[in-house]
Amino acid sequence: MSASLDGSDRARRWLLGGVVAYFLLLGYAVVANDPIARLTAYALFGVIAVAIGVALLAQGPTDPIGAAGASFASGGVAQFVWIATGDPAFELLSTVGVFAGIGLYVYATRYRR
């Protein structure tokens, strides 16, 4: 099993487009002080995190790549809970989940042999 984000080129383009759209939307929301754009960017962040998590979990739930997937997915779900409740603990949990997912992904793809 490959320790990378496998998938079609089309899926990778959609993912890259989503990440670019997130940063552009968030930048606009900050500059324009637009709460709807900010909320949309937050929701897009959750969608991207869950999508990456599901893709990684599908590769092997017991490998470190699966742990990265679980971290991304839990971060994405926490993002949606934060949007719904406004509880800052879920905002922190979302951030930690995604950063842990990034760290585990780097470990699984670069350092684990």
Q: What is the pLDDT of residues 28-60, one digit of tens each?
A: 999 999 999 999 999 999 999 999 999 889 887
pLDDT in tens, 8-28: 778 778 888 999 999 999 999
Rg value, the chain, Cα: 15
Query: Model pTM?
Result: 0.84
Question: Given this model, what pLDDT does residue 12 score?
Answer: 79
Domains of the chain by residue range? 9-111
Among the listed residues 43, 41, 39, 51, the one whose alpha carbon sits nearest the alpha carbon of residue 15: 51
Query: Which of the four pLDDT bands, split at 50, 70 and 90, describes residue 96?
Result: very high
